[in-house]
């Protein structure tokens, strides 16, 4: 318990607050110093990856002997300017890994977003229907009316809580679920395109093809195209 407290204090000061203040100083300088921005960008990338894996696996390794001491030493190694450990880890391991697996990581992020939206849509619909059914049955039992869905069942009064809930559902429920479903379908389509499009279909960059000196003929803009321009594509998440 004592070592975990010491580790939290040292990590909060050296690994988070001082780098946070250093990043602010680098961003507040005008003109901005590119070496400082690059250094702190490398640091936060490495620390973010370390914290992400620690959040997932801490319950599994936190009981190891000298866990808190080891964690504190690693964070100090990454944060202290005398060691510059974050720069070394970024250039040696993190950047090559992200460069090699960038397309797979992007596709995985988009697919995960689509799956999460679909799961939330399904669960929210089930919870809403279960809550509405429970309120309906409670109101019917209290009023001594017939069971909901059978002939002779009474409709809830407009000023009752059941009527208020049903009014909210009728007004906003289908719209919200429809928008969530459209966003999930769009995310799934983007994920399929990111996975299925071959690398040869991607446009060649100027760095690989060189400068094209042939003048390009401008296409005339029709009035219909000027009046109804195409909507910009939805930005995909990028990893830096």
pLDDT given for residue 177 in this prediction: 66
Distance CA 93, CA 240 (A): 14
**Quick one: what percent of the chain has pLDDT higher than 70?**
57
Identify whether the C-beta of residue 58 lies closer than 8 Å to the C-beta of residue 68.
Answer: no
Nearest to 48 by CA among 60, 59, 36, 40: 40
Distance CA 50, CA 36 (A): 21
Compute the average pLDDT of residues 12-31.
91
Compute the average pLDDT of residues 73-77.
93
**153 pLDDT exceeds 50?**
no
Q: What tokens does 26 get?
A: 């680098």
Can you tell me whether residue 154 is helix, strand or coil?
Answer: coil
Q: How does the average pLDDT of the chain come out, rounded?
A: 73
> With bands split at pLDDT 50, 70 and 90, how would you rate the model's confidence at 176?
low
pLDDT given for residue 210 in this prediction: 42
**100 pLDDT exceeds 60?**
yes
Q: How many residues does the chain have?
A: 240
What are residue 146's phi and psi, to 5 degrees?
-70, 165
Burial state string for 219-228 with b = 16 or more CB within 10 A and e = fewer than 16: eeeeeeeeee
> With bands split at pLDDT 50, 70 and 90, how would you rate the model's confidence at 158?
low
pLDDT given for residue 185 in this prediction: 66
Taking only the tens place, the pLDDT of each residue in 107-131 is: 998 888 888 888 888 888 888 888 7
> With bands split at pLDDT 50, 70 and 90, how would you rate the model's confidence at 183?
low
Cα dist. 173→84, 149, 184 in Å? 53, 20, 17
């Amino acid at each position: 318990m004592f070592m975990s407290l010491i580790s939290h204090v040292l990590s909060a000061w050296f690994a988070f607050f001082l780098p946070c203040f250093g990043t602010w100083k680098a961003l507040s300088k005008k003109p901005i110093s590119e070496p400082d921005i690059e250094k702190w960008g490398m640091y936060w990338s490495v620390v973010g990856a370390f914290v992400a894996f620690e959040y997932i696996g801490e319950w599994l390794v936190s009981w190891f002997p000298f866990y808190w001491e080891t964690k504190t030493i690693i964070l100090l190694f990454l944060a202290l300017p005398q060691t510059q450990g974050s720069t070394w880890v970024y250039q040696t391991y993190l950047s090559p890994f992200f460069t090699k697996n960038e397309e797979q990581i992007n596709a995985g992020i988009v697919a995960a977003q689509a799956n999460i939206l679909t799961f939330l849509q399904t669960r929210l619909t089930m919870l809403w229907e279960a809550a509405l059914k429970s309120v309906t049955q409670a109101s019917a039992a209290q009023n001594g009316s017939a069971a909901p869905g059978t002939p002779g069942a009474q409709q809830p009064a407009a000023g009752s809580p059941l009527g208020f809930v049903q009014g909210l559902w009728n007004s906003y429920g289908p719209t919200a679920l429809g928008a969530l479903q459209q966003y999930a379908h769009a995310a799934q389509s983007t994920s399929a395109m990111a996975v299925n499009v071959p690398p040869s279909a991607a446009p060649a960059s100027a760095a690989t093809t060189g400068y094209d000196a042939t003048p390009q003929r401008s296409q005339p803009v029709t009035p219909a195209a000027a009046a109804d321009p195409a909507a910009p594509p939805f930005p995909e998440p990028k990893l830096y």
